[in-house]
Amino acid sequence: MIGRVWVCFILLGFVSKNKSKSAATIIPKMLSKNQSYEVLKGSSQVLECRVENLGKFVVLWRKGDRILSAGKLLIRKDGKVMITEKYELKLSDIEESDAGEYVCEVDVFGETKEVRHQMIVLVAPVITSWERTLEVSAGDDLTIICEATGNPPPKITWRKHQDGKVIIPDETGSKVVLKNLSRRDAGLYICTADNQVNEGVEKITKITVKYPPEVKIEEVWIPHKKTFEVRLVCHVNSYPTSKVTWFKNENTKLSTSDEIVIENHEPKYVMKIEKLKVKNFGKYKCKASNALGNTEETIEITGKPRPPIFSGDQREILSSVKQLNITWSTDSIVPITQYLLAYRKSQTGVILSAPSSSMSSPSDWSQSIIPVEVPNASLTSFSSYTLKNLDNETVYDVRVKAMNAFGMSKFSKVFNFYVKTSAGSDGSDVAPQSLLTDAKEVSSGSSTISLFLPVMCVLISLRWNIS
């Protein structure tokens, strides 16, 4: 009887050892590695959980402390979660609240085999707050706001629509402070929010600046048979819109008549004298008024010639010439009697030239009076003058004004031309204006000294006699 019990004990021990070995061969092994997923909001994502030798053990998915599934059994039943045949977790229609850590685990005799995945939900930017329209007065300060959400947090930038000028916001990027506003600050300001998720989004803030009138008069003469049609164009900028009134000689209010036509085409207000006569000479005032103030400007119509206009086909770059014939035209209601032509070596454009006996220093204008031997009865006169003894590598300035029985006109615009050493002496032609960069000005008392580059250095040798 003792022998039987002993044998059974040995057999049971043998069976127990075999069972332990059998269990060791089916212990599950987690093959998946921890991963981080970046997922676009609204899309779907599969989270991996590969287990080797799963056997009858159970795969459990959880997010934080919330269990999502056990085996193929879904605990979360909102229709957005499913388990694949390989025990992967598939999430659909992902929202921001789905972001976080997901854990796939298998409990093996009290020991947990797990893999952890981090899911980041990318959200395209949305601008949530901005001002659509704002109205301020000139001189005011203004803060405009643009706030946006998204993941990652979007970067906010600003620009002005009309000129594309970049606007610098505060340190948060959401606010722009505009100080001492003027009419030029009015317009559309564009806020852009971008975080590289899809395309950036934009919102527009319209800023209106109220300001008093700004007035400028333009004088236009148009030949009309035996006289001129004169148009005074009053350019008025203001907000709100101004009321514009024309006056002659300060007190006489003007309105449309047989001789004068007044037209209002905001922002241009035109007073037109269809046939200019001597009786129309005088001072004309354009006065603009709105709720913020009044502004006026006065211009005088006389019988003096209009400022001459140089011919547009004149060459600005010449090669090794000693003289140049300059032509111009002038409008005048009566015949021109003489011209005054002024010329000089440009104050800001002498390249390097030896002094010419016919020219004074670059800072002085030389003048020539050009009489008109046979007055021209037409409204537009043409004339010319030849400049002689020109120096190479020099820029010249020329201007002219005209005289008739009523007096002297204003000077024309300055005409510049450049005399090169020879044709093709350098690789390309450059306009005279581009040569006006070699000068530097140094103030000394009330005078201004022009320094020109390159500089010619003169060595003066002094000989001392030692007794």
Contacts of 80 (CB under 8 A, 6+ apart): 91, 92, 93, 94, 98
- pLDDT at position 187 is 93
- pLDDT at position 26 is 83
pLDDT digits (tens, 9 = 90+) for 363-383: 589 999 999 998 888 999 999
- pLDDT at position 346 is 86
Mean pLDDT along residues 441-461: 31
45 falls in which pLDDT band (50, 70, 90)?
Answer: very high
Count Cα neighbours of 357 within 13 Å in the Cβ-side half-sphere: 0
Asked if pLDDT for residue 358 goes beyond 50, the answer is no
pLDDT digits (tens, 9 = 90+) for 124-177: 999 999 999 999 999 999 999 999 999 999 999 999 988 778 888 888 888 999
For the chain, first and last CA: distance in Å?
155
Average pLDDT, the chain: 83
Mean pLDDT along residues 449-458: 30
d(CA 376, CA 378): 6
- pLDDT at position 443 is 30
**Are the beta carbons of 359 and 367 closer than 8 angstroms?**
no
- pLDDT at position 431 is 54
**Residue for token pair 């089916």:** 26
Mean pLDDT along residues 274-300: 95
Give pTM, 2 decimals.
Answer: 0.63
Mean pLDDT along residues 242-269: 92
Work out the number of other CB atoms within 10 angstroms of the CB of residue 243: 13
**Are the beta carbons of 229 and 157 closer than 8 angstroms?**
no
Q: What is the DSSP letter of 445?
A: T
Asked if pLDDT for residue 461 goes beyond 90, the answer is no
pLDDT digits (tens, 9 = 90+) for 69-116: 999 999 998 889 999 999 999 999 999 999 999 999 999 998 999 999
Asked if pLDDT for residue 447 goes beyond 60, the answer is no
318 falls in which pLDDT band (50, 70, 90)?
Answer: confident
258 falls in which pLDDT band (50, 70, 90)?
Answer: confident
**Residue for token pair 């934009």:** 202
pLDDT digits (tens, 9 = 90+) for 407-420: 999 999 999 999 98
Is the model more confident about 273 or about 433?
273
Q: What angle do CA 421, 427, 431 make, to 5 degrees?
A: 70
